[in-house]
Homo-oligomer: A and B are copies of this chain.
Amino acid sequence: MRQNQVMATPSTPGAATPRASTPRARARAQTEAEILRIGREHLATTGPAGLSLRAIARELGVVSSAVYRYVASRDELLTRLVIDAYQDLGDAVDAALESVDVTDFAARLRTLAHAVRDWARSEPATYALLFGTPVPGYEAPGDRTTEPGTRVIRALVDIVEAAWQARAVAELPASTVPASVSTDADQVRAAFGVTVPDDLVVRTTVVWAGVFGLVNFEIFGQYGEAFTDVAALFDLQVTVLVESLGLTKTS
């Protein structure tokens, strides 16, 4: 008879395996990565709702129950894919911004928009996972996805704040923002640690949602056959959106 296993501390699926020193640990890390890769691949053909652990096991060349050594459940896999995707997108945006003059705010905004679009085009299914219809029956755990999920808006807000600090935003006609929105804007300013006025908060959300709206239309095919040079169209559209912020030329 085997010993009672209660005292053992089994490796929790999904738990970080920090020191990948031993061959076994390396194999594990590799399989884990492989599962995520196949999962991402399957997203493309089946959509999030059709993501199946059995199908992944099949492609991995392993019996279906074996994937449970690596992933606690289907939802857990979805969560990991979501987090990975947000990080990937965040990295892409950050990397693109790195090579742009920090004082050329319009250029930075345009770069951000193009980085989002490029990433979406390179991984449309993953993009859909984040910004398309929410997966029915699945709710992303806020404590793990919120932080990576805010990287793009964080970058966007930082650019706008920098422009505001540099007095590179046109004085806007004193708009009458309702008190409710003003209060919400207070929360936003506090959360991001910025000082932009109400009106600019609103305009920033328009650019934000606008960029994703443009990308959505392109990725999800809403334009139909109307436009052939979607890249050039996007560039012009971004110009319109950026203009709507009221930046003054300063560089």
Contact = CB atoms under 8 A, between A and B. Distances in A.
Interface of A: 45-50, 128, 131-137, 146, 150, 175, 177-178, 180-181, 183-184, 187-188, 191, 202-203, 205-206, 208-214, 216-217, 220-224, 226-229, 232-233, 236-237, 240-241, 243-244
As for how many copies of this chain the complex holds, the number is 2
Prevailing SS type, chain A contact patch: helix
B131 A229 contact: no
Nearest to A207: B240
A202 B46 contact: no
A250 to B, nearest CB: 19
A112 to B, nearest CB: 15
Given A48-B133, A209-B222, A216-B216, 20 more contacts: A131-B216, A131-B220, A132-B133, A134-B220, A134-B221, A146-B224, A175-B236, A180-B228, A181-B233, A184-B227, A187-B226, A202-B236, A202-B237, A203-B240, A205-B233, A206-B214, A209-B210, A209-B216, A210-B214, A210-B241
6 contacts: A49-B50, A181-B233, A184-B228, A205-B223, A208-B217, A212-B216
Contacts of A146: 224
Contacts of A209: 210, 213-214, 216-217, 222, 237
